[in-house]
Structures are given as C-alpha cells and as structure tokens.
Amino acid sequence: MNKSELKQIQNMLLERKMEILGKLLEEHETYVQHLKTETGDLADEAYDVIERDLAYDLSIAEKTELEEINEALRKIEEGTYGICEDCGEKIPVERLKVKPYARYCIKCKEKRERKKILRSHIEE
C-alpha cells in the first residue's frame, strides 16, 4: 500500500469516526431531552421504551465500530496497519478500502466465520 492509499483510508476512518460521534451525541441529546418531558398514556410510554431500546442497540454497534476505527487509526500511527492479525500477511488494499478497519485477510476472516458457525451448531 502506498502513502496516498494509506492517507485516503485514514481519512475514510476519520470521517466515519466523526459521523458516529455526531450521531451518538445527537442520540444522547435526544434521550436527555426525552427524559425532561413527560409522556402521555401507556401506549406512548411503551413506544418510547421500544424506541430507546432500538437506539441503544444501534449505539452499541456504533460503539463497537468506533473501537475498531480507533484501533485501525492506532495501527496506522504504529505502522502496523493492514496486517492480518491471524496469519501476518498483508490485507489487500481493495479489502481495506471497503472495510478500512478490517483486522483479518479474507481467508482468515472466512475461517473465523466457519468456526463461529460450527460453534453455534454445536451449542444447539
């Protein structure tokens, strides 16, 4: 990967990080505002609970993505970015452009997915 490609990916990571942080801040402000107002009847309260739960679930996924982005940015700073954490081979630039916080090459990611599926079948 050349410096230009690395800089492009770093910018992608930083842009996505800002999107997530902005959305989380907006959700937090909405939640705080909601707490300050009173809801009407029981149906409204039930809807509000469902809406909050959905926002919470989405924010967990975004928090996870944010952690992955921060890890990728750390690796860029250290000079270890783009190396598969399992096999130690370089992750193809094409993969990193699609998923800039990828930790594994396609081969190792597929192997991990197969193991995960196998484990879930065994647990059933």
Total domains in the fold of the chain:
1
pLDDT at residue 124 is higher than 60 = yes
CA torsion sign for 40, 45, 47, 49 is: positive
Contact assessment for residue 94 and residue 82, using Cβ atoms and an 8 Å cutoff: no
C-alpha to C-alpha distance for 51 and 24, rounded to whole angstroms = 15
Nearest residue to 55 (alpha-carbon basis) of 23, 92, 27, 90:
27
Share of the chain above pLDDT 90, in %: 56
Q: Tell me what pLDDT residue 88 has.
A: 97
* pLDDT per position as a tens digit, 16-51: 999 988 887 777 677 666 655 655 566 666 656 666
Q: Tell me what pLDDT residue 120 has.
A: 84
C-alpha to C-alpha distance for 35 and 95, rounded to whole angstroms = 42
Give the pLDDT mean for 108-115.
Answer: 96
Q: Residues with Cβ < 8 Å from 73, sequence gap 6 or more?
A: 10, 13, 14, 17
Domain containing 97: what range? 3-123
Contact assessment for residue 21 and residue 30, using Cβ atoms and an 8 Å cutoff: no
Contact assessment for residue 24 and residue 62, using Cβ atoms and an 8 Å cutoff: yes
Which two structure tokens, joined as six digits, stand for 35? 């707490």
Q: Tell me what pLDDT residue 54 has.
A: 62
* Domain CATH code at residue 113: 1.20.120.910
Nearest residue to 99 (alpha-carbon basis) of 64, 69, 59, 67:
69
